[in-house]
Amino acid sequence: MDEPLSIVLFSGTDDRLTSASVFAAGSAVLGRPVRILLQYWGLEAFRADRIGRARGLAADADAEGGPMLAAALEAGQINWADTLRQSKELGEVEIHACSQSMDILKLEQADLDPLVDGVEGIAGFLAAAGDGQLLFI
């Protein structure tokens, strides 16, 4: 359990971002390191000029619970960026942008929210994951 929990954050919808943030928080509570790699839509969500805005829900949102989850997100009961900030205070949580995604989206680190600690390639991320678990969200 001293291996990190590694999360590939591929998605950029509020429900999946929230899910990733609560897994980071839960792992931090257990004293276990967390490493997050931001890919494609997940990276887009961490742009400094857009991190606060609503991003919709995943395609599963047409279930009847959709409005209720959407309302909870809007009412600020859940704010994934805040949950990640708190997780960083609670434990060892590192967030890296995927270097290939940075190239595709023509981003530089200055374009990203300070939550992002740096840029990392896929092989580096996998090597740092060691034998720890991976989640693709």
Which residues sit at the interface with a second copy, rule CB under 8 A?
1, 3, 5, 8, 10-13, 15-16, 19, 22-23, 25-27, 29-30, 32, 39-41, 43-45, 50, 55-56, 58-65, 68-69, 72, 77-78, 100, 104-106, 121-123, 125-127, 129-131, 133-137
- Residue (13 or 84) nearer to a second copy, CB: 13
Q: Which of 55, 57, 20, 22 has its CA nearest to residue 38?
A: 20
Least separation in angstroms between residue 114's CB and a second copy is 20
- Residue (44 or 117) nearer to a second copy, CB: 44
Least separation in angstroms between residue 132's CB and a second copy is 8
Least separation in angstroms between residue 45's CB and a second copy is 7
Least separation in angstroms between residue 98's CB and a second copy is 8
- Residue (44 or 94) nearer to a second copy, CB: 44
- Residue (72 or 114) nearer to a second copy, CB: 72
Q: How many CA atoms lie within 13 A of 9 on its CB side?
A: 31
Q: Which of 24, 2, 13, 1 has its CA nearest to residue 135?
A: 24
